[in-house]
């Protein structure tokens, strides 16, 4: 019965039912037969419907798979790329032209039309990839390239396609997908840039600096007349600045310096940040020694220019080492080491200068381990020398005291400033012994001066204290021992602490300083103004003297002294403190500081750091041998001190002698 169509059976049933109704057929079995036939027909109809439903589902499954693939392509963001090789016609999704901002149909047509919008650096690679697919007739085409937008920018796309080979064995078409990968490529470029550039300044880092030097070495083989010059620029005492003003401000200072230096260089030169406060310069724009030296001097002056910060100015200097490439020798990374040696030589003899590398400098090269071992024996060998810089009383221009400054007279490297060995002493735990030696030596010398001078106000001496010393409870015992051995006048041996050092642990510092003060020492707050604390907050500490940082003392570019100076002096007096102004370099500085009420001044206008014998001659008035304080003077003065004092008004101290001293590191 399954072979008989259902409609035919239904037709027979209708005819039979009609004959029964009209009476043409009369039989007892006709009624049940018709009823059974109707049930059977209904079952067949249901079966047919189910059969068609399942048949329709199979067909729908094929269509859904195609749709599923189309939806997946749309959802992935990929675009269709189809090249009909025989017709040389490229078809791509309209979205491609929409992304690029091109008119509809711009990219459809011969493959050569694509070359017109391809980046010039990608054209040869794209053409070679298509030729390779056509020649090999197999494989997979994977290409990243850039397409130009109407405004001249480029977007990155990734093409993944396979060849379709025809019955003749030749490639009939190449079909695949095209993806917009601009964001991915930009992220990769940023990562690559960040890996070879300094995050703070944006300058090349040491790795990129050395890579460009190596590239230059390869280029020189074909252009021997091109000889670069390497400079290493290291900021002097920047760690002290960073500790005083904070890391954030220190970073801003480095960024400002980087921008200043970049502005005075040419595009072909490479300025890099080699380390924290160290920059490197690969100079290729200048080849004449005179011009190279002039540029180095311009860099030095650029760094010396004051940097404004919170209504004050910060002054920096740098040690610059310069190494010229040898035309007779291959260019290697040794030239950077030579420039570093010249820089260290400059820093060793005071900084703020330019030194050109010379071969004898290699003989002075000493590794850190050797310095550590030699520093441990330096005190025993009496290689640590204490120099004393005068602190003048502005009222009568008399020497009121000295600041003790340590120097290391290295047997091979010569005199080394604290910036070269104090950090090593702190790291190897020798700073406590070194500080104790400086304190003991200064106290004995101060005692001898006090016995020799017998002044109305006892002479004082200041000694710097490090954080390691302050954190040790034995410091109280050390100070007590120094005072008992030297018998100096009470309060005349002053311990100097920086503001940042005190604020590292204010509770502990306050406790220690009060106990030290009770022993009979003076306490001086050094470099006030470089931190972020106010005098009113610092009154919790028992300081009797503050030393105002030189950035507040020096005049601005317009010849105006910072307005905060007068307020600081007045507030210090209200708190019962005396004031020492650092960085006084001219006679005008001394006069104005005295008029503002400042008691003392320290700077090269009054004298350089000198040994004990020279300081003694200065105190005893030995005019034949004593070193006269080197001073700047804004007006000539040939009268003797007594005559000058008699003719000067009480509002200003006597003028200084017209002699200048170069600035040195402390």
Mean pLDDT confidence for 38-62: 64
* pLDDT at residue 295, as a whole number: 94
* pLDDT, tens digit (0-9, with 9 covering 90-100), for 76-101: 768 888 888 888 888 888 888 888 88
- Look at strands 414-416 and 398-410 and give their pairing: antiparallel
pLDDT at 590 > cutoff 90: no
Nearest Cα to Cα of residue 572 among 623, 618, 538:
538
The separation between the first and the last C-alpha atoms of the chain, rounded to the nearest angstrom, is: 117
Q: What is the pLDDT of residue 438?
A: 95
Find tokens 């079909």 and name the residue.
Answer: 175
CB of 607 within 8 A of CB of 397? Answer: no
Q: pLDDT at residue 164 above 80? A: yes
Q: What is the pLDDT of residue 642?
A: 32
At residue 517, does pLDDT exceed 90? Answer: yes
Share of the chain above pLDDT 90, in %: 25
pLDDT reading at 501 higher than 90: no
Among 216-230, 268-282, 407-421, 628-642, name the one with the lowest average pLDDT: 628-642
Per-residue HEC secondary structure of 339-374 comes to: HHHHHHHHHHCCCCEEEECCHHHHHHCCCHHHHHHH
**Do 233 and 320 touch, CB atoms closer than 8 A?**
yes
Provide the b/e sequence for 50-63 (b: ≥16 CB within 10 Å).
eeeeeeeeeeeeee
Instruction: Say which range, 148-152, 261-265, 532-536, 614-618, has the weakest mean pLDDT.
Output: 532-536
In this structure, what token pair is assigned to residue 51?
Answer: 């059969």
Q: Which residue has the higher pLDDT, 260 or 38?
A: 260
Nearest Cα residue to 633 out of 587, 593, 602, 580? 587
Compute how many other C-beta atoms are within 10 angstroms of the C-beta atom of residue 395: 12
In this predicted structure, what is the pLDDT of residue 214?
87
pLDDT bin (cut points 50, 70, 90) of residue 556 is low
Q: pLDDT band at residue 188, thresholds of 50, 70 and 90?
A: confident
Can you give the pTM of this predicted structure?
0.49
Between CA 148 and CA 118 the distance in angstroms is 6
Whether 643 has a pLDDT exceeding 60, the answer reads: no
Give the pLDDT mean for 272-279: 91
pLDDT at 343 over 60: yes
Q: Out of 287-291, 493-497, 503-507, 532-536, pick the least confident.
A: 532-536
What average pLDDT does the chain have? Answer: 80
Does 656 score more than 50 pLDDT? no
Strands 353-356, 318-324: pairing is parallel
401-433 tens-digit pLDDT:
999 999 999 888 788 878 778 878 877 888 888
Beta strand 89-92 with 79-84: parallel, antiparallel or unpaired? antiparallel
Helix (H) or strand (E) holding 271: strand 270-275
User: Which residues of 72-153 form beta strands (DSSP E)?
Assistant: 79-84, 89-92, 141-148
pLDDT at 565 over 70: yes
Length of the chain: 666
Give the residue with greater pLDDT, 633 vs 13. Answer: 13
452: left (phi over 0), alpha (psi -120 to 50) or beta: alpha
- The answer to whether the CB of 604 falls within 8 A of the CB of 663 is yes
pLDDT of 568 above 60: yes
Amino acid 352: pLDDT: 86
pLDDT (0 to 100) of residue 560: 60
pLDDT top residue among 377 and 637: 377
Task: Look at residue 624 in the predicted model and tell me its pLDDT.
Answer: 47
Helix segments in 221-246, DSSP class H = 238-245
**pLDDT reported for residue 143:** 86
**Range with the largest mean pLDDT of 273-277, 288-292, 362-366, 442-446:** 442-446
Task: Please report which helix (H) or strand (E) contains residue 319, including its range.
Answer: strand 318-324
The pLDDT score that the predictor gives to residue 534 is: 60
Q: Which two tokens stand for residue 653?
A: 């101290």
Statement: residue 645 has pLDDT above 60? no
Per-range mean pLDDT, top range of 136-145, 532-541, 615-624: 136-145
């Amino acid at each position: 019965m399954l072979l008989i169509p259902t409609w035919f059976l239904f037709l027979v049933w209708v005819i039979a039912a009609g004959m029964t109704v009209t009476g043409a057929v009369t039989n007892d079995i006709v009624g049940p037969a018709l009823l059974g036939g109707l049930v059977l027909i209904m079952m067949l109809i249901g079966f047919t419907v189910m059969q068609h439903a399942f048949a329709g589902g199979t067909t729908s499954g094929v269509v859904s798979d195609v749709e599923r693939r189309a939806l997946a392509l749309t959802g992935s963001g990929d675009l269709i790329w189809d090249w009909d090789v025989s017709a040389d016609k490229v078809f791509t999704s309209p979205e491609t032209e929409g992304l690029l901002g091109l008119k509809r149909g711009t990219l459809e047509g011969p493959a050569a039309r694509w070359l017109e919008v391809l980046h010039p650096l990608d054209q040869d690679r794209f053409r070679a990839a298509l030729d390779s697919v056509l020649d090999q007739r197999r494989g997979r085409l994977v290409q990243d390239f850039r397409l130009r937008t109407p405004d001249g920018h480029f977007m990155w796309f990734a093409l993944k396609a396979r060849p379709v080979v025809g019955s003749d064995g030749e490639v009939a078409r190449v079909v695949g997908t095209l993806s917009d990968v601009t964001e991915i490529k930009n992220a990769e470029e940023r990562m690559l840039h960040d890996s070879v550039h300094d995050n703070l300044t944006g300058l090349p880092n040491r790795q990129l600096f050395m890579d460009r030097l190596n590239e230059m070495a390869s280029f020189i083989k074909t252009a021997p007349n091109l000889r670069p010059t390497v400079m290493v620029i290291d900021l002097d005492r920047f760690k002290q600045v960073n500790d005083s003003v904070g890391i954030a401000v220190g970073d801003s200072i480095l960024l400002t310096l980087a921008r200043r230096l970049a502005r005075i260089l040419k595009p072909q030169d490479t300025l890099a940040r080699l380390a924290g406060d160290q920059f490197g310069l690969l100079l290729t724009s200048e080849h004449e020694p005179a011009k190279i030296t002039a540029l180095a001097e311009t860099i030095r002056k650029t760094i010396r220019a004051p940097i404004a910060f919170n209504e004050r100015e910060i002054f920096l200097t740098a040690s610059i080492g310069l190494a010229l490439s040898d035309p007779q020798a291959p260019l290697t990374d040794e030239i950077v080491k030579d420039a570093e040696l010249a820089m260290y030589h400059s820093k060793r003899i005071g900084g703020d200068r330019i030194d050109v590398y010379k071969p004898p400098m290699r003989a002075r090269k000493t590794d850190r381990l050797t310095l550590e071992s030699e520093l441990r024996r330096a005190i025993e060998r009496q290689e640590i020398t204490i120099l004393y810089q005068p602190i003048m009383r502005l009222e009568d221009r008399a020497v009121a005291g000295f600041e003790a400054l340590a120097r290391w007279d290295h047997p091979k490297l010569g005199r080394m400033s604290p910036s070269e060995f104090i950090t090593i002493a702190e790291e190897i735990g020798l700073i406590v012994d070194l500080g104790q030696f400086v304190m003991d030596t200064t106290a004995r010398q101060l005692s001898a001066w006090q016995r020799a001078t017998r002044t109305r106000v006892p002479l004082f001496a200041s000694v710097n204290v490090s954080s390691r010393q302050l954190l040790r409870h034995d410091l109280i015992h050390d100070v007590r021992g120094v005072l008992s051995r030297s018998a100096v006048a009470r309060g005349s041996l002053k311990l100097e602490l920086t503001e940042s050092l005190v604020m590292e642990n204010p509770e502990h510092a306050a406790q220690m300083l009060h106990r030290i003060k009770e022993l009979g020492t003076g306490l001086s707050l050094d470099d006030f103004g470089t931190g972020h604390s106010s005098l009113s907050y610092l009154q919790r500490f028992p300081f009797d003297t503050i030393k105002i940082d030189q950035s507040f003392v020096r005049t601005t570019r317009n010849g105006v002294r910072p307005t905060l100076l007068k307020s600081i002096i007045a507030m210090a007096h209200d708190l019962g403190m005396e004031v020492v102004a650092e960085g006084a370099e001219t006679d005008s500085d001394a006069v104005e500081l005295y008029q503002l009420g400042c008691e003392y001044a320290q700077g090269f206008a009054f004298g350089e750091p000198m040994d004990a014998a020279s300081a003694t001659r200065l105190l005893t008035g030995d005019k034949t041998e004593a070193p006269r304080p080197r001073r700047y003077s804004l007006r000539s003065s040939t009268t003797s001190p007594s005559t000058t004092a008699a003719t000067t008004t009480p509002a200003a101290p006597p003028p200084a002698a017209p002699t200048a001293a170069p600035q040195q590191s402390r």
